Structure 1
Amino acid sequence: MANIRLNILPIKNKQFSFKVYRKLKLEGDKKEDNTWLYNLPQDMDINEYRSYWISFIPKNEFEEYIVDSNMSIGLSKKYIFEQLVKALNVNKPKFEFKVKRLFTDCFVDFIINKYEKGNKIIYMCPYYLEEQNTYGFIIDFKFSKNIDVLFDKEVQKLSLSLDVNGRSNKNYYSDKFRIVQNFITEVYEGIQNIGTEDEPIEISPNLVETTVFHLNKKEYIFSNNNISSSQFQGIRNYGAYKNISKEVTFAFIFEDRFRSFANELYLSLTGKLNPGTFPGLEQMFNININTKNVNQIKLANYSLEAMSQAINEVKTLQNNNPERKVVGIYIEDCAVDSEDLPASNNYYYLKYHFIKNNLPLQVVNYRKLGERNSLKWSTS
């Protein structure tokens, strides 16, 4: 069977080394500019790791250290990304580019075409392919819609999800492959060498090849080890693999303007709204949901203070009812077809604090599920 190509540009060096400057992290340390925290071997014993502040430029009280690429995958990815950005700044590719960072992920967006509705973009981000012990860069295509533009058929065509005739694009992957290959040809000379004279690193012009193998048919295990190929029908016919051991209290977190939608969501979970598509939590999971075990946590707005207050109310609800399990349901107002950073920040903030307090949280997007037909098919 023929190999397939992954959208990863590999580094030719299976192993490489690079210079950093490091300082042991001590309690109470504050992060300095242009420093990052990574674990590295304390000395020659590579099995004993400590946390170090890392810089790629000399700093006071930082010692020079040579890192082998197999010591820290995260740091090695960080290094090759910084080297890629350096090469781009020096060699000035024909495409306008922007460096983006989102939490621990780093990207370079290349604008390959501009349109009234948005931009066609090729992006690159560092990656470690464990299967082949290879570092490289994921390289892929996307269409970035302008914020003030409606999501319509033309946007879908530019995104390649629809073909030029407005039908489902059967050539989606081959179209992306062609665009990516053309991009590599045009920029490769400027990104080929991203290392230094002492530490050469070369990017391959060819996407990674990997062998193909077939997985067995996916099956799911339910109560009493019953098996089904359908998650939904398996739950419906046999019940959950493992039931929750406590009675549940549901904490609905939402602004007052979503009261009507919250009621529809509640009725949908009980199975009363669309019993033909979802018969309810009690029938499917043996979990009671009724007016006696549903609480509203009022959200005044989306400020950090309001979010913190909601979290504290849920924690209090759990502490006052240790014999029950409190489950949070947060209704968010988030744009679904564009990057909505404030909503994303709220999402991660709530998720973090719920997980920290051993509380489950389900986030429901009003803009995505606000239409009754969407809710009907999404509840299950």
Structure 2
Amino acid sequence: MTDILLSFLAIREQPFAFTVYRKLYDGAQKTEDSLWIYPLPEEPGDDEFKRYYVAFEPIPGFVAYECPARANRNLTCRVLTLMVQQRAEAAGIDHSTKLRGFHNSIDLYTESFTKGKRALVLEPYYLESKRQFGFLVDVRFRANKSYPKGDAETLQLSFSNSRNGGVNKNFYGDKYNYVTAQLSRLLPQLGPLVWQDLQLSLVEAFSTVTATTLAKKQYIFKNDNYDYNQFSGIRRYGPYRPGPSDCTFVFLLEERYRAFANKLFLSLTGKRNPDTFKGMHEMFQVDIGKNNIVQIPLLDTSEPHLAGAVEQVRQLQTERPNEHLITIFVEENNHADEPGVSETYYYLKYHLTKLQIPLQVLSHEKISVDSTLKWSTSNIGLALFAKLGGIPWIVKPSISNCLILGIGSAHKFNDQGQIERFFAYSVCLDSSGIYRKLEVLADDHSEESYLSALQRNLVSLLGSPEFAGYTKCALHLPFKIKHREIDSIKAAIEKVRSMEFKVLKINVKNKFFGYSNHNTKTPYASTLVELNPHEFLVWFEGLQQGKEVLNERISPPVHIEFLHSAHTSRESVYPYLQDAINLTGTNWRGFNAKVKVISIYYSSIITDYCTHFEQFPDFRKDMLSLHSPWFL
């Protein structure tokens, strides 16, 4: 076990109570912005709660109520935010407050730049594991609307990039130093926090929470041999499951890329860079040579010429019905924000997916340099192998016979921002990381019909014969999924009695952060912090034991919440958390691919494809339901 410094400042005086003014809710719509509606006990200690109008200033007809902090955590968090706001105003600190629904936070601006402001973000929170109220603290760069997000300067000001413009390997250390320095300056100005007769103060140091470490990912290869590294395992043992032996590689390219395509071909055969990639046959047991290469020349990437190229691929598919085709397209770059670039990619991706032919797109700008191609070929080969249906490796699961369903949605919005078509799907995997299928669950213009279909089709999917051997199921839900969708999913689960279920809501972009005691302040990979019995923080990447050297920017922790669980003992949830970490190791987009839970990551990729595929008049959602991972 180790400790994590959770970026949380606890309130010193606990427990505490504060005065508000309330009136029993009569069902009428709230008309005053100064009124809020909260459930509260009629008397302290009552188990029964009633809904009240709540005001923070005396109002005729409202009664003063001494509210214990734990009576309604959302109300307490709102009051705490207002207390900081009052102190910021009194101290002349530039700030902005967000009070929206259950969200309460305040930005304390620390520095101004041409493109925006840096801010310490304080968000009230109840840390259940310590039974303490306090504030989560982080630093954010708030870019001005007139400047694009994600440019070099804004990335540097948000600590994502270093001062020299590269990826910030010292992301955690830089954030820790900045936040603690600004807190040392601001906390004396903010204290004490005052609410009528109540005075509260903040502990100056971050809270120390106990962390545990989940097991290291173990990769399984041919003949069930295992290794802790994907690349060395493939080289030593070969892929877990071979790809097809009868492959045809179709190169689709303009004449100006022919020399590059020849270099790529030689590199894939292992003849050009054998020290870094021995070849498709040696690495993946897939042959590539002049006898199974077809070249389709492109005059340019205008739609008529692209359509003609797709037709040639279709004819080739007809002529070779027993062969597995894969198309390789070379474009200048893959900058999706540049006109004409993404349109070409999505045109080919759409029409070839309709033909059930995988597509690999390569950026000439990124990998045409010999040294880059040398180190990129293994990743290109891996992607080709996986798209052809091969399984390079799996992970050793924590739970056997466990089905993983990544639930995603890709709703279509009108110009007013309202949903005009509802769409949900499921990426079906098992706990070893093997992709099973993609299933459309619901597609409808009516929300009610959509929710009904979501429930009905999920029950049908879980009860299908192909999943009969699974005794457990973990549903992975993205953070943005709507409450009514979650209710339909829960209702479906209630109707399936043959499986044990766990529902995990996985939030990659969340409000939590934490630091280790290592001099880099970076936690170790697989570190786990329990916020309460059903909410956890997990570091999917981080320092490696015995190799405490940072070669890349380490991402923030992922927040995982268990929904719909009768009990959440460590014994019941830790295996599911372990498998969530394990699934980050089966991203076959590259040997050094992003460390993300593929059930959620693949869902986000599919959502992006659906958004772009909507531009084609003949797009039908059922064309996505393939047993091969076409979206890789």
Match of 2:418 among 304, 310, 313: 304
Taking structure 2 as the reference length, what is the TM-score of the superposition? 0.41
Equivalent position of 1:76 in the other structure: 76
Q: Which amino acid aligns with 1:8?
A: F
Pair 1:142-2:140 in alignment = yes
Q: Which amino acid aligns with 1:168?
A: V
Deviations 1:223-242 (A, max 9, x none): xxxxxx99xxxxx98xxxxx
Q: Which amino acid aligns with 1:264?
A: K
User: 266-275 or 25-34, which moves further after superposition?
Assistant: 266-275
Cα distance change on mapping 1:271 and 1:128 into 2, 3 Å: farther
Q: Which amino acid aligns with 2:14?
A: K
Cα distance change on mapping 1:266 and 1:135 into 2, 3 Å: farther
Equivalent position of 2:106 in the other structure: 108
Superposed displacement of residue 369, structure 1? 8.0
Equivalent position of 2:154 in the other structure: 155
Deviations 1:143-189 (A, max 9, x none): 22333334332322222112122222221111111111111111112
Superposed displacement of residue 324, structure 1? 5.3
Equivalent position of 2:213 in the other structure: 214
Q: Is the 8 A contact 2:353 2:630 kept in 1?
A: no
Alignment partners' CA distance in 2, 1:97 and 1:262: 46
Cα distance change on mapping 1:317 and 1:54 into 2, 3 Å: closer
Per the alignment, in what secondary structure is the counterpart of residue 23 of structure 1?
A: strand
Cα distance change on mapping 1:191 and 1:167 into 2, 3 Å: same
User: 260-269 or 37-46, which moves further after superposition?
Assistant: 260-269
Equivalent position of 2:55 in the other structure: 55
Equivalent position of 2:621 in the other structure: none
Alignment partners' CA distance in 2, 1:185 and 1:322: 52
Superposed displacement of residue 100, structure 1? 2.2
| RMSD across aligned positions (CA) | 4.7
Superposed displacement of residue 353, structure 1? 6.3
Alignment partners' CA distance in 1, 2:485 and 2:351: 21
Q: Is the 8 A contact 1:127 1:136 kept in 2?
A: yes
User: 9-18 or 268-277, which moves further after superposition?
Assistant: 268-277
Alignment partners' CA distance in 1, 2:447 and 2:74: 35
Cα distance change on mapping 1:107 and 1:319 into 2, 3 Å: closer
User: 310-319 or 115-124, which moves further after superposition?
Assistant: 310-319
Cα distance change on mapping 1:62 and 1:143 into 2, 3 Å: same
Per the alignment, in what secondary structure is the counterpart of residue 81 of structure 1?
A: helix
Q: Which amino acid aligns with 2:73?
A: I
Deviations 1:36-91 (A, max 9, x none): 22221122542111122211111232211111112121111111111111111122
Alignment partners' CA distance in 2, 1:100 and 1:324: 39
Equivalent position of 2:349 in the other structure: 264
Cα distance change on mapping 1:135 and 1:369 into 2, 3 Å: farther
Superposed displacement of residue 322, structure 1? 10
Q: Which amino acid aligns with 1:17?
A: A
Superposed displacement of residue 7, structure 1? 1.1
Deviations 1:198-226 (A, max 9, x none): 32211122221223332334799xxxxxx
Equivalent position of 1:117 in the other structure: 115
Per the alignment, in what secondary structure is the counterpart of residue 167 of structure 1?
A: coil
Alignment partners' CA distance in 1, 2:103 and 2:80: 13
Per the alignment, in what secondary structure is the counterpart of residue 121 of structure 2?
A: strand
Alignment of 1:82-93 (within 5 A): 82-93=82-93
Q: Is the 8 A contact 1:311 1:353 kept in 2?
A: no
Per the alignment, in what secondary structure is the counterpart of residue 213 of structure 1?
A: strand
Q: Is the 8 A contact 2:13 2:201 kept in 1?
A: yes
Pair 1:379-2:631 in alignment = yes
User: 177-186 or 32-41, which moves further after superposition?
Assistant: 32-41
Q: Which amino acid aligns with 1:137?
A: F
Cα distance change on mapping 1:113 and 1:312 into 2, 3 Å: same
Per the alignment, in what secondary structure is the counterpart of residue 199 of structure 2?
A: coil
Gaps of 5+ in 1: 221-228, 231-235, 238-257, 281-285, 287-295, 327-346, 371-376
Per the alignment, in what secondary structure is the counterpart of residue 131 of structure 1?
A: coil
Match of 1:273 among 337, 351, 358: 358
Per the alignment, in what secondary structure is the counterpart of residue 173 of structure 1?
A: helix
Q: Is the 8 A contact 2:420 2:445 kept in 1?
A: no
User: 145-154 or 31-40, which moves further after superposition?
Assistant: 145-154
Cα distance change on mapping 1:262 and 1:8 into 2, 3 Å: farther
Superposed displacement of residue 125, structure 1? 1.1
Equivalent position of 1:373 in the other structure: none
Q: Which amino acid aligns with 1:379?
A: F
Larger of the two Rg values belongs to structure? 2
Equivalent position of 2:522 in the other structure: none
Equivalent position of 2:562 in the other structure: none
Alignment partners' CA distance in 2, 1:28 and 1:139: 37
Equivalent position of 1:14 in the other structure: 14
Cα distance change on mapping 1:218 and 1:324 into 2, 3 Å: same
Per the alignment, in what secondary structure is the counterpart of residue 195 of structure 1?
A: strand
Alignment partners' CA distance in 2, 1:318 and 1:11: 43
Q: Is the 8 A contact 2:414 2:420 kept in 1?
A: yes
Superposed displacement of residue 193, structure 1? 0.7
Alignment partners' CA distance in 1, 2:209 and 2:412: 52
Deviations 1:17-44 (A, max 9, x none): 1011111222344353212222211225
Equivalent position of 1:330 in the other structure: none
Alignment partners' CA distance in 1, 2:49 and 2:418: 36
Per the alignment, in what secondary structure is the counterpart of residue 147 of structure 1?
A: coil
Alignment partners' CA distance in 1, 2:214 and 2:91: 44
Q: Which amino acid aligns with 1:18?
A: F
Alignment partners' CA distance in 1, 2:191 and 2:455: 59
Q: Which amino acid aligns with 1:127?
A: Y
Q: Which amino acid aligns with 2:188?
A: E
Per the alignment, in what secondary structure is the counterpart of residue 445 of structure 2?
A: helix
Per the alignment, in what secondary structure is the counterpart of residue 78 of structure 1?
A: helix
Q: Which amino acid aligns with 2:67?
A: V
Alignment partners' CA distance in 2, 1:43 and 1:318: 39
Equivalent position of 1:129 in the other structure: 127
Q: Is the 8 A contact 1:194 1:202 kept in 2?
A: yes
Cα distance change on mapping 1:320 and 1:182 into 2, 3 Å: closer
Per the alignment, in what secondary structure is the counterpart of residue 107 of structure 2?
A: strand
Q: Which amino acid aligns with 1:27?
A: G
Equivalent position of 1:181 in the other structure: 180
Per the alignment, in what secondary structure is the counterpart of residue 188 of structure 1?
A: helix
Superposed displacement of residue 317, structure 1? 7.5
Q: Is the 8 A contact 2:81 2:124 kept in 1?
A: yes
Taking structure 1 as the reference length, what is the TM-score of the superposition? 0.65
Q: Is the 8 A contact 2:23 2:63 kept in 1?
A: yes
